[in-house]
Structure 1
């Protein structure tokens, strides 16, 4: 098997040559992309531009190398070395797997393997394409790098501008901040070397600054506050102030190069948060037999809550205008850590004066430990309600019945069930077939009654048509005794429940003492409801009536255990229901404006007499972010773009005026100051442009409201109404 590694070396060399050739062809394009990204967006842009190109180049190189497989190697060896006698494939087979003439031939080829070392199977270099690609890449990269910058400044990043040159100018050699938080926070004193810091509101910040050589004077400049002078103590300069709001500051000294602005963010003390733990809802009902109530609250704060809180208790009595209030307060002591305390108490409902129809309202008031002014927060109110009818409801919980919505099988489902029964009839016993057919008949009856009620028919059961049989052996009810001196009305003849609804008991006698009686509601009932039965055209009502008849026939056959005879009636009912659904609906047209008739005598004549046209002045709306938008466009760096003048003074005034709606006004003002002092810093200009983009006001999602019309326009709008 020593012959196989020797031959495989040719395959490895060919794959390496193909990969290197691909890299040599594609690498110039990747370098051009990287140079373009670096010129436009810096190092980050170069990495982002080059990374996809490198990935694509590697994928192409792997793809080109994969074609040099074992099949290619065998073919090349057979073509290049005649002494292998087109039997190179035998060298890649195991000696034990071949026998006979194949084994003899393999042994002969194994003795000639050394002849393969003199053959070079690597593909040729793509010399001409490689030279063209590299020449073009060098030209493009030179053009990109030598193209003049948009701001005409030299490309350097962060070199602080020197206000005084010379070796004797002082230099800031060290700086530290010592931050002392307020005592109530419980935070320790800390030091840091960074000049930007986030400190609790009310903290004392002390600056420890070193210069070399020592200046004659030094201080801290605050653009919107009083400057602080630094006091020299040996080789160190110190100064301090209380930080009660976010500030920008700059270190200044005689002869010192102008420094960038640093910022101090004052983190305000958050107000305490009161959360209701028990009960889960802010309104609870009094349970039968309940005599006590235990509400539980939880108060949390970033620095701590005072252990003693106040529970406000209010009891309401009465209702309407006669309602009365009784208020009192009681102290509560919390349990747990200082930053998260739990307050609870058990209230005796009888002692609080609770009665039926009254409410017990509790509210927790907590205070944090902020100094000098503490923050007091009122928690959520919790109401315990005693319903007026609680005594009546006591003991009736077990008698409540859960009412489920009515379920009706559709006509299509009834047909499906009937067809399934017909298909399974041979495998079922006659009794089972009868039971299932009767169940389907009950579903058909329920659907028929549902449509019947919708059409104005009577429901079966209470007052339905048919002969009413006696249901018990009790004697018939006696006639009622007279309750007045008026003559008793004559007994109406017996009729079949409703007598086809032509006469419900005849004419009723007038009530005694001249009272009027609603005959229809007293002695009869209406089947045709105005909300259901009168909404359809006669053709639609006729289709629904025929569908009910077909449902009745289907039900009759199903009740008798004959689903085959019921299926045609069920299909007929389904078709009639679909016909009713496709009935023409009636739409009421909306009434439009009654416009005056067109005078065709003046139409298309070109006469403009008595036509007065008003040319309203177009309102000039200056966008609120015009200054910021102009500055954003002026900071553009695209090669060949004509950048306008950068009005930093107007931009700084805009940032001060709109600081209330900006997400980070201090960062924007610091970036403006840095660009003003270091106009050649590209990174500073890019940061300012990015901050301006986030500060620009987004356009409204909907068009703005038009300006109010004048007197004449208002009269026109009023006339349109």
Structure 2
């Protein structure tokens, strides 16, 4: 048993108590601004079209972040706490770590126990005098809370403009149908008196909410539109908003029985109308302005830039950007191509230019500089770059690709040095057809050429004919000029022959061979040559040099003979005599080309043979229907309903009375105009109303609306196709016609 008495509270419990107080203080400093941040987010989210979604996501992120931070904070780190206490309070003599000794560990010696008891006593007295031993500042938490309170106040104060916009002017709704008479003593049916409009543009447009002054209005795509309808008396039936194929039912406003509200998010232009108690209002245009993608215009450099030797290796880039509502992001993407041939390597570099778009401007000029050495370029390398930008709605636009090339001076120097003494014109063989063309050209220019120039050009043509002859001679084993020609070598005379079959002038030393070669060696050599003869391929033998057919060889030999004759006469400066041989050589060449071609039979689909035993004469016509080719041709642009309506309106203008049957013609024309109004409601909406009014007047037999003829006729004429241009006719009595008739009369 230890001689040192222990206190009632252990050292670890004392450190845990100090840590618990510190954690509680930091938790309070975190939760205070967190609560105010949630309230501020909720106050501002009410003014956004996607407010509930933003509020839910924001609160989830805040709560998740705070939970992770608190979990990390509440993990006991007593060893770290002991080190901090030792640094803050010298009287602990760097011995606070002794309080962490556990009973499961080996016991402390006498000196350590005395020091542990002393540190515990001093730390207990320090905690009694100072509840919080670790330093802490409330200033960051209080400043953050104050800023969030100002933000909360701003969100609450910003509700006032929304209320002002809601109290917009009441817009009357027109119902063209005649009112149903009410019997005496019965209450009048409820009527839709007017409606109020409020448009909430999307947040990315940075536009405030506004109240249109007309039921036909325009707004940005994605706007939230609110209709507030006012009826004459409380009723259970609610108005209905008809927008194309959509039907939106108004909902009652709590506490106001005569008001109904409907909301819709619009993304495309459309026509809408209100229906209430069996009455349908006029059509009104809702023109939605789509958000266009950003436009980019690279002002410098040019689409292709060549950096010459000695020029600056920096290329300035200047881009003009425009957008409807604001630009948020811009990047320059450069691809560096290094190397030549198949050893080309590519690297991509992305430069962020968004720092020059502060404040999300609608138009901005962004500039940067391409430093070729910094990109790793050397002489002969290339860099391709383009610019891409995003707007507030995250629409992406990419410019064209521009090229910057650094001139390779080493290749140019090498070519320049070689061109000092070498002709860089590529060597090629002239074709037989080109030789014929040049020969005929020489014959045509013979009268204007000096004799020396004529002879030189003819000799050059003969040289070209020789090169072409040698080219085709390789197909017959003629690898040198010694074996070219159709005439056989002259026979050797009997006086020059030796006993062994060799001539005296062939260049061989026959005397030495005869004196040094015994008879047995000659027999062995002849036997070896006879044995190897089937396996040898002799290039100097025209019969075994290739694998051409005998007929092709004969024609090719004839080609060489004709070329030989043409070359002889060209060398003698007689192009007129060489031309027939050149034509015959060309004709034989075409025949050789045609003979050496391989023809493959064209393969196609072959129907399988019908089984006679099961299908022949059975009378089964299943699947044997006649094939039908269908083609849906577009409707001709005659548009008879529009033409009939134009003729009818013209007749009504002259005083023709309207009949009930004319209402059908006007309604058909109104349907065609309504289809066009779906695409352009602002242009044809007035015409749709005018045609409906004229049709209603014609149906009941009342006086036609005089102001409706103009919009209706203008829209019908605009929808009709443009007639083809007729040929111009001479004006009767013109000068041209008079002269024409005078000439007829005089003849």
**TM-score when normalising by structure 1:** 0.41
**Higher relative contact order (Cα pairs below 8 Å, separated by 6+ residues):** 1
**TM-score when normalising by structure 2:** 0.40
Higher helix share: 2
